[in-house]
Amino acid sequence: MERLSGKKGCPICLGAGIGRCPLHSTPIVAKTRAVLSKGSFFGESPPSIFVGHFGYPRVRAGVLAPPLPGHEDLDSPSKWFSDKLSIPEISEKRLSLLNMTFSAEIKRPALSREYFGEVSLAVKPTEVEARTRGLREGLSFDKYSSPLGPSARLEEFKVTENPKIPSKVDSIVSENLRAEEGANELFNYGFDVYYIQRLLSGGFLGKKKTLVPTRWGITAADSIVSERLISEIRELEKIDRVLLFTSKYLDNEFHILLFPGPWSFEQLEGYVPGETLMRDWEFHEGRKKYAFNVAGGYYAGRIAVCEYLAKVKRQASALIVRSIGEGYFAPLGVWQVRENVRSAMEGRPREFPDLLSALSVLFSESRVKKERILGVSKLLKFALSQKRLDLF
């Protein structure tokens, strides 16, 4: 993770300095800074936690809470997407959220629960009281997780109200289930993957309960749930037409193509105008290794496609083509991949009689060149192996 602040190249002010940065100088951020300088506050955790990965297995973990009352959606990716917030607007929200950190042992989660145990399990904002020291200002961006704002070492911490924890969650957490079983039970019961990610990171799932760094917990939750959905999708009837879905947000453009065939999935990501193209894929038998090229975005896109296919009770081959423009000047995390694909598939798709017709439209709309897509796509190479590519 690269630490970005006014002194180290903030992407908003391009290094002008905290005093002159339009983001760091907003009224909310200025008031937040004033409260944090006192070293103690009372607020509501969204609820939110963070577990780092540097120094594994001894890491920095933290509870996130705003020092000012009345601020909402500080850790709500789905709401950020629905409101179409800009990078500065999301960054401002994260700058008003303090990460109160402490040293944690990955394999000894019980020692951390006095700080974030109840906050991790809560499904609604939870009142907390804290005393901190060593305030560190700045904004950290990461391609896996949401931006992190100011941080401080946690000295004293107390949950000042009874957190809202569903009885079903209590039951699953107390049972001796494997992490995969617990995560899928929660998903089947209606809990979103964001909540499952938090329980994994907090060390509440699995027979040998351990803390999981946030960036790993995000991908683990997406992978676990989608693997279970894929096992069901493989048994479903195949779609009988070609569907094309699209979504655009923060200069990210997604084209999602579903076409008749056994379950298979591929995600291509191209940076434009340079078009540095990355891709990972799986055929019907699934993946055996981590998707190192597209990384966490692969699993975030895959789970959204799987959710759709499970909902409509159909099997298909799926291709995602993502183009990333210069307007996406700071990474916000893989949530925007997940939410873009989810949003696209909630809309009405364009239908085509055959794959060639759909690809003709995709090539005309995508900022990734047709030759690049055809040159690297494993799924298209397989699907079109009996057709003449010069038709394009």
Higher pLDDT pick, 19 / 63? 63
Say if CB 281 and CB 289 are below 8 A apart: no
Task: Provide the pLDDT for residue 275.
Answer: 73
Two tokens, residue 242: 């070609």
| Residue 146: predicted pLDDT | 95
Identify the pLDDT of residue 114. 76
Q: What is the pLDDT of residue 32?
A: 84
What was the pLDDT predicted at 377?
A: 97
> Can you tell me the mean pLDDT for 158-173?
91
Query: What is the per-residue pLDDT for 20?
Result: 57
Query: What whole-number distance in Å separates Cα of residue 224 and Cα of residue 210?
Result: 17
Average pLDDT over residues 93-101: 91
For 22-31, 119-128, 139-148, 301-310, which range has the lowest pLDDT when averaged over its residues?
A: 22-31
| Mean pLDDT taken over the chain | 89
HEC letters along 163-189: CCCCHHHHHHHHCCCCHHHHHHHHHHC
Q: Evaluate if residue 390 carries a pLDDT over 50.
A: no
φ and ψ at 248, to 5 degrees? Answer: -135, 135
Give the H/E segment covering residue 50: strand 49-51
Q: CA 316 to CA 310: how far, in whole Å?
A: 11
**344: nearest Cα among 377, 324, 320:** 320
Domains of the chain: 2-159 (no CATH), 170-233 (no CATH), 242-391 (3.30.230)
Name the strand (E) or helix (H) holding 40.
strand 40-45
Question: What dihedral do alpha carbons 272, 218, 333, 42 form, nearest 10°?
Answer: 180
pLDDT for 11 equals 65
* pLDDT average, residue stretch 256-282: 93
Please report which confidence band the pLDDT of residue 8 belongs to, taking 50, 70 and 90 as the band edges: very low
Which tens digit of pLDDT belongs to each residue from 26-84?
777 878 878 888 888 888 899 899 999 999 999 999 999 998 876 789 999 999 999 99
Give me the percent of the chain exceeding a pLDDT of 70.
Answer: 92
Phi, psi of 374 (to 5 degrees): -65, -30
What is the C-alpha separation between 72 and 296, in angstroms, rounded? 27
pLDDT digits 0-9 by tens, 350-388:
999 999 999 999 999 999 999 999 999 999 999 998 554
Residue 218 is encoded by which pair of tokens?
């995000």
Average pLDDT on 112-117 reads 78
Residue 324, pLDDT score: 96
49-63: string of b/e by CB count within 10 Å (b at 16+)? bbbbbeeeeebbbbb
Whether 4 shows a pLDDT value over 60: the answer reads no
Confidence of residue 85 (pLDDT cuts 50, 70, 90): very high
Is the four-CA dihedral 273, 277, 283, 285 of positive or negative sign?
negative
Q: What is the pTM of this model?
A: 0.92
pLDDT at residue 140 in the model = 85
pLDDT of residue 290: 96
* pLDDT above 90 as % of the chain: 69
